[in-house]
Structure 1
Amino acid sequence: SGVISMFFFKLEVKPFHEGPPLQYFVAYPHQYEFIVDEPIRCLKESPFLVLMVPVTPHNREARDIIRNTWGKETTVLGQESPVFLKVLQESQTHHDILQSDFLDSYNNLTIKTMVMFEWLSTHCSNTSYAMKIDSDMFLNVQNLIDMLLKAPKHLYMTGMMARGAPVLRDHTSKWFLPYSAFPESTYPPYALGMGYVFSLDLPKKILEASPHVKAVYIEDVYVGLCMRHAGLTLTDPPHGGLFRTTEPYLKIVQNHKLAPPSVVSV
């Protein structure tokens, strides 16, 4: 029970330098620090569900759209250079931003996700579930809560599942991995990174596995690799349409790449 709190998970600031970067791997584990934080909000409110939304620093529009649409159903949490000063001011207004000290880039999404798990693991001991959801998604919060009230409470993750997904060897693909980086022909099961929900005992298990699994830049695949190392399985949603785009809005949990959510009537 308790309130439903929403966090915008914003991570960026300065590049992390430690030797030459490797093209298909990222610098994790590493001791990253939060430079904008909400250290007591989760413990103070003991929310049932925390929503983590990766957003780049300059994308104030996406954050405000969510705050004014599906984010309004929750207690909103959320974020130096000119951009940093604006983000800091935004954080002081909304108290819904986290920011960490690594370069915010597509290839660092794995770092962003793992730091998200770190924060949840250390700050939300009284929380039941969290969801990582991209900023271009529509979220039906009520359907999500209804699903979670009937969901397993321990070692649980669900979303749109990828099972037996082939490793892409085409050099032109955005998700290319060479044999030298990952020799297997298919990935273990994983939840697509656009949006997945999990119980709050799971981040600790994933973090414990992470030193044993070299961090590839494809963040949802890496979470799946850590799950496999830890001997954990993913759970299919109660029905396939919950995390897909083909169902009517009243039946789904999430939908991808909508027009601005303010025009969506649910």
Structure 2
Amino acid sequence: MMFVNMRRIRKCKVLQIILMCLATSMIMMYWEQLDNKIVTHVKSYTYRYFPNSFKFINASFRVSPKEAIKFSNHRYIINQQRKCVKRDILLLLFVKSSTENFGRRQAIRSTWGNEAYIERTLGVTVKVLFAVGLHPEPQQRRTLQLQLFFEDQIYHDLIQQDFIDSFHNLTLKLLLQLGWKETFCRHAQFLMSADDDVFVHIPNLVHYLQGIARSNAEDLWIGRVHSGSPPERDKKSKYYVSRDMYPWMSYPDYTPGSGYVLSKGVATKIYQASLTLNASLHIDDVFLGICAKMLGISPKNHLFFSGEGKAPYHRCIYNQMMTSHGHVRDIFEMWNLATEPDVGQMSSGLFWRLYCTMVKVRLLCIPFSSVSYPCKAAFWT
């Protein structure tokens, strides 16, 4: 009888080994496609494996302080100077918005950006602000500006400077965020920047940042890291960067502007570095990477910051997600699903962990797909 049982046990072990080998082979076969997730302007080729100090880039972007200040020396049209009077602020969260996107701002105020909900439910202070510039069309600017003033009278959460709000001025919007934190909210422990079509899983993010704060870790920059991404040379692309502006084969490591977090020390250092560099490069997340590289600061990759993709709808994903990109009409639905009380129970117990791993493999490990998180996130705990 024991001999029969031993034979069964050996067969089970052999079967397990075979299945593991098959799974490993599949992952290795498609690893480059699974890991890179080639989407829009992000194309991580083998440049990522080249050792590179990027010192030549730092030298080429340096300008005099007098020349550099013109990029960040914009006048405030709307400001909230007393937003951060409370000293104990875990996170200052800037949402990059446009003047006409009132609906998006309203949806964020009602869901993940609701400061009162965060303080009442999570017991921490998070300050949420919307960064905007001037509407690019003069004919619409006056009407939208009046609407913006009215909106600010109600919500007191808009920060506006007098630069034209366009894709090619995103670096100016980055400098707005860094400069405002440095001037009015320097004591906030973390700074987050996100787009207004991004869903932020605030409970998960808050718990994660609280853990970092308790560990007293410094010089942190967290997001979905892109390594070795080459500049876009297609003139038809909005991400086009000329060789005159950036002649090299690849960018320093950076995190997409859709959502990332900086510790307060890093935010201060990067702001100070930006005051010595030419900020005419309009790819704001790349400019942030150049500033950080000059300081010797590298981003930390978090597999559940989505970069540019939208997260799959499933409880096993909600339990770990930090951000998901591309939410406008479905933001209320995502908020209700992701914050259901029983979602947190999915991680308890061996059975649920195994179940969720299998679910995430099915959702994330699809060859050549453009889902939000890489395949290896399925095995991340």
Once the two structures are superposed, what CA deviation does each residue of 1:140-165 show, in whole Å capped at 9, x if it has no partner?
A: 00110111122254221111111111
Separation in 2, partners of 1:180, 1:28 = 21
Identify the residue that residue 254 of structure 1 maps to in structure 2.
Answer: 323
* 1:65 aligned onto 2:107: yes
How far off is 1:53 after superposition? 0.4
Residues 49 and 131 in structure 1, CA contact (< 8 A), matched pair in contact too: yes
Q: TM-score, normalised by structure 2?
A: 0.59
Residue of structure 1 equivalent to 2:295: 230
What value does the CA root-mean-square deviation take over the aligned residues?
2.1
TM-score, normalized by length of structure 1?
0.83
- Which residue of 1 is the match for residue 26 of structure 2? none
Q: Which residue of structure 1 aligns with residue 251 of structure 2?
A: 187
* Structure 2: runs of 5 or more not aligned: 1-67, 119-125, 131-140, 339-381
| Aligned mates of 1:81, 1:98 — CA distance in 2 | 17
Gaps of 5+ in 1: 1-25
Bigger CA drift: 192-201 or 167-176?
167-176
Deviation at 1:236, TM superposition (A): 1.9
Given that 2:226 and 2:253 are in contact with CA atoms closer than 8 Å, whether structure 1 keeps it comes out as yes
Contact 2:197 2:325 in 1 (8 A): yes
Checking the alignment, whether the CA contact within 8 Å between 2:191 and 2:267 is kept in structure 1 is no
Once the two structures are superposed, the pairs formed by residues 142-181 of structure 1 within 5 Å of their partners are 142-151=203-212, 153-181=217-245
Q: 1:51-102: CA deviations, max 9, x gaps?
A: 1001111111001111111122336654782211211111111111111111
| Whole-angstrom CA distance in 2 between matches of 1:231 and 1:175 | 26
| 1:119 counterpart residue number | 180
Equivalent residues of 2:93, 2:128 under 8 A apart? no
Q: Which structure has the highest helix share of the two?
A: 2
Larger Cα Rg: Structure 1 or Structure 2?
2
Tell me if the contact between 1:118 and 1:203 (Cα under 8 Å) persists in the aligned partners.
Answer: no
Give 1:263 shift: 1.6
Deviation at 1:27, TM superposition (A): 8.7
Helix, strand or coil at the partner of 1:251: coil
Question: How far apart, CA to CA, are the structure 1 residues paired with 2:90 and 2:257?
Answer: 22
Number of residue equivalences: 239
Pick closer, same or farther for the CA change 1:107–1:127 going to 2, 3 Å: same
1:95 to 149, 156, 169: 156
Matched, 1:42 2:89: no
Correspondence for 1:241 among 304, 309, 318 = 304
Greater relative contact order, per chain length (Cα 8 Å cut-off, separation 6+): 1
1:101 is paired with a residue of what secondary structure? strand
